[in-house]
Amino acid sequence: MKAVFVDRDGTLNVNTGYVGRPALVALVPRAGEGLRLLNGAGYGIVVVSNQSGIARGYFSEADADEVDVRLRELLAQVGANVTAIYRCPHWPEDERPAGVAACGCRKPKPGMLLRAAADYDIDLRASWMIGDRLLDMQAGRAAGCRCVLVPGVPPHQPAEEMRGAPPDYRARDLVDAAQHIIAAAPVPASAASDPTQR
């Protein structure tokens, strides 16, 4: 299937910093509407989220599960459906304590996207990544997806440089991102086999 991978905090829900309780979940304006458009165009929606608050002890995996349930509920209220949610509960590489092994899932690594592709038979060349940060673009590129950058909510690093991973499109919001993805031409077969031609 074709999918759109979507970052969570700051992209789908307002990033209040370590969102570890359902009561903290509030959708970014027009986020649900954007996902609904993508659902209607036949895209599966896969949320991929770094959640180092678990490693830091700020909240548990069970707490994170409850947050994801609430996110699904709020999206469903506007007619949007999420196929799957993946999270990385590990430390950022530059803050990892001594003796703690590195993971392969934390963005900018593509581990969550690759796992989802294996789990759901996702065609990565026909898929997209939407996020509000450089690491989202890097993860999408590493997985072979096209990428859309959206403004973070709340805003952060307003002129963040997309070093080595420029987005294919800079959207105003999730609806604009969805409309661009739906209108974009499919990746030609020759380019799909050669990432340098994308």
Please provide the DSSP assignment of 23-61 as one string: GG--BPTTHHHHHHHHHHTT-EEEEEEE-TTTTTTSS-H
Tokens standing for residue 132 = 């509000």
Look at residue 93 in the predicted model and tell me its pLDDT: 81
Confidence label for 195 from pLDDT (cuts 50, 70 and 90): very low
* Mean pLDDT calculated for residue range 38-67: 95
* Mean pLDDT calculated for residue range 75-89: 98
The CATH topology of domain 3-197 is Rossmann fold (3.40.50)
75 and 33 Cβ atoms separated by less than 8 Å: no
* Mean pLDDT calculated for residue range 155-182: 83
Confidence label for 97 from pLDDT (cuts 50, 70 and 90): confident
Of the candidates 47, 41, 44, 3, the residue with the CA atom closest to the CA atom of residue 27 = 47
Look at residue 102 in the predicted model and tell me its pLDDT: 86
Least confident among 4-18, 47-61, 94-108, 160-174: 160-174
Question: Taking the CA of residue 107 as centre, how many other CA atoms within 13 Å lie in the half-sphere pointing to its CB?
Answer: 28
Of the candidates 149, 176, 145, the residue with the CA atom closest to the CA atom of residue 37 = 176
pLDDT at 197 over 50: no
Domain limits, the chain = 3-197
d(CA 111, CA 88): 9
d(CA 41, CA 31): 16
Q: What is the DSSP letter of 21?
A: S
* Mean pLDDT calculated for residue range 101-126: 96
Confidence label for 161 from pLDDT (cuts 50, 70 and 90): low
d(CA 85, CA 47): 5
Confidence label for 101 from pLDDT (cuts 50, 70 and 90): confident
pTM for the model = 0.89
* Mean pLDDT calculated for residue range 36-55: 96
* Mean pLDDT calculated for residue range 84-108: 89
pLDDT at 158 over 80: no
Look at residue 190 in the predicted model and tell me its pLDDT: 46
Look at residue 163 in the predicted model and tell me its pLDDT: 66
- Find the helix or strand (DSSP H, E) in which 119 lies: helix 111-120
